[in-house]
């Protein structure tokens, strides 16, 4: 996993938060329109309507801008996963897998152009930091632990890694670069079937 840069400081007052939000919105706009190579701190500051000095108070370089944008994007996605995936209900393994796949598909569909660009720099499947307990890896591990009696393999770490990689590659391809000859419901059902087959077979 890449070492994700941290902001120089976090905004506390309302005006500072507004400034940082404008900077991040401008960063997202430039990334979608011009890509990583077209992103510069000077251009971000210009579009955000702030001085370059104000930008550097929070972000020392464009990697830090992308990292902050990634964190904001990931926090939204992880909140969505937490809301959609319920471990406090008596669902079967296949029903829980359906929830996970549907949540990850919806997460990838949130700002898909920006999501695709951010994935090139910092993977969605990386944790935001070591203290993030709602990341996708934790969710998958919890699912495997809860349904361990239904799963043939007893290597939870390996199963978690395999399921993560299946989700990462299959859902990303289905949402960001979908094949034209298949419908989204067909792709969704096939992904669910593939994960179920691996865990139960």
**Residues 122 and 188 both lie in one domain:** yes
Supply the pTM of this predicted model: 0.69
Domain CATH number, residue 154? 1.10.357.10
**Residues 187 and 161 both lie in one domain:** yes
**Residues 48 and 89 both lie in one domain:** no
Mean pLDDT of 24-50: 93
**Residues 90 and 176 both lie in one domain:** yes
Select the more confidently predicted residue: 10 or 29.
Answer: 29
Residue 83 falls inside a structural domain: yes
**C-alpha to C-alpha distance for 198 and 179, rounded to whole angstroms:** 23
What's the pLDDT tens digit per position in 108-137?
787 777 877 777 666 555 544 444 444 788
Residue with tokens 């709602």: 134
**Residues 36 and 101 both lie in one domain:** no
Residue 171 falls inside a structural domain: yes
**C-alpha to C-alpha distance for 31 and 171, rounded to whole angstroms:** 22
**C-alpha to C-alpha distance for 101 and 177, rounded to whole angstroms:** 17
**Residues 34 and 99 both lie in one domain:** no
Last residue of a domain, one of 25, 40, 65: 65
What's the pLDDT tens digit per position in 87-116?
777 788 999 999 999 988 888 787 777 877
**Residues 55 and 124 both lie in one domain:** no
Q: Which domain holds residue 195?
A: 71-200
Residue 172 has pLDDT above 90, yes or no: no
Last residue of a domain, one of 43, 65, 87: 65
**Residues 60 and 75 both lie in one domain:** no
**Residues 59 and 93 both lie in one domain:** no
Q: In the numeric block, which tokens belong to residue 153?
A: 């393999």
What's the pLDDT tens digit per position in 48-70?
999 999 999 999 998 889 888 88
How many domains does one find in the chain? 2
CB atoms within 10 A of CB 88: 5
What's the pLDDT tens digit per position in 72-85?
877 777 788 778 88
Q: Which CB contacts under 8 angstroms, 24+ apart, belong to 118-123?
A: 118/31, 118/66, 118/69, 118/70, 118/73, 119/172, 119/176, 120/36, 121/2, 121/36, 121/63, 121/66, 121/70, 122/2, 122/4, 122/66, 122/67, 122/70, 123/1, 123/168
Mean pLDDT of 154-168: 91
Domain CATH number, residue 25? 1.10.10.60
Cβ(78)–Cβ(30) below 8 Å: no
């Amino acid at each position: 996993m890449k070492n994700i840069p941290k902001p120089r400081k976090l905004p506390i007052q309302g005006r500072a938060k507004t400034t940082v939000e404008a900077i991040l919105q401008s960063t997202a706009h430039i990334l979608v329109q011009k890509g990583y190579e077209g992103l510069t701190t000077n251009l971000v500051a210009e579009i955000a309507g702030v001085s370059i000095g104000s930008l550097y108070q929070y972000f020392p370089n464009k990697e830090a801008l992308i990292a902050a944008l990634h964190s904001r994007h990931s926090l939204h996605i992880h909140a969505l996963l937490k809301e959609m995936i319920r471990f406090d209900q008596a669902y079967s393994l296949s029903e829980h897998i359906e929830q996970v796949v549907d949540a990850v598909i919806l997460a990838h569909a949130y700002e898909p152009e920006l999501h695709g660009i951010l994935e090139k720099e910092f993977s969605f499947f990386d944790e935001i930091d070591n203290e993030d307990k709602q990341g996708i890896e934790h969710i998958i591990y919890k699912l495997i632990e809860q349904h361990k009696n239904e799963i043939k393999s007893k290597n939870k770490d390996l199963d978690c890694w395999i399921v993560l990689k299946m989700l990462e590659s299959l859902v990303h391809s289905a949402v960001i670069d979908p094949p034209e000859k298949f419908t989204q419901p067909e792709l969704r059902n096939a992904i669910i079937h593939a994960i179920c087959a691996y865990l139960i077979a």
